[in-house]
Structure 1
């Protein structure tokens, strides 16, 4: 379960990496602390999935820009496919449960009125 959560966070970061102005805005967008975002970004850099480049912003402050690497794009596709597969399986399981309880309710309701 922890691995799934980690992959979901990675996917969120990979989805937001090019639009985020900084780690703080990314953290706010995704809903995790800046420290957690920083930790995961470092891991993604070590894996070679993203790279960071320094630049000076309009206030002459150093900022980092994060870019997906080719491996990062492949990983994003892989994680997305796994995520979609898992969500489809969850949907099918919920649909099955809902059908079961609908039938059970219908049976119980019909039995009450007889």
Structure 2
């Protein structure tokens, strides 16, 4: 299964936030996008939706990670960190190359 960065953001937010609107505000995406992602995560068995027992609005749900969802959240977090480490290493190598070529000193001196 392939997951996106948005999936990870939603999975990470569910622990703290339980409404689609607050998840959307937290991660910076529209409520429609969050709804779409949540439906997909529910279909994959990563998230479950429950009605609030004492809430008058029966259309409002609280979202909970399933055991499978917790495992996938950990897996996605590890992959995300690994990807960011690779990006960092590539940027460091690029910077070192520019320093070795003297471009860094020239550029820094012209600022």
The alignment's TM-score, normalised by the length of structure 2, stands at: 0.84
Shift of 1:106: 6.2
The alignment's TM-score, normalised by the length of structure 1, stands at: 0.82
User: Which residue in 2 is equivalent to 1:92?
Assistant: 89
Greater share of residues in helix: 1
CA distance in 2, matches of 1:49, 1:107: 47
**Aligned residue-pair number:** 103
Where has structure 1 moved over 4 Å in runs of 4 or more? 106-109
1:33-44 → structure 2 map (5 Å cutoff): 33-44=30-41
Question: What do residues 83-102 of structure 1 show as CA deviations (whole Å, max 9, x unaligned)?
Answer: 11111110000000000111
Give 2:64's match in structure 1, choosing from 40, 64, 67.
67
CA distance in 1, matches of 2:16, 2:104: 53
Q: RMSD of aligned C-alpha atoms?
A: 1.9
- Given that 2:42 and 2:48 are in contact with CA atoms closer than 8 Å, whether structure 1 keeps it comes out as yes
> Which consecutive residues of structure 2, in runs of 5 or more, have no partner in the other structure?
107-111
User: Which residue in 1 is equivalent to 2:42?
Assistant: 45
Shift of 1:39: 0.4
- Given that 2:99 and 2:105 are in contact with CA atoms closer than 8 Å, whether structure 1 keeps it comes out as no
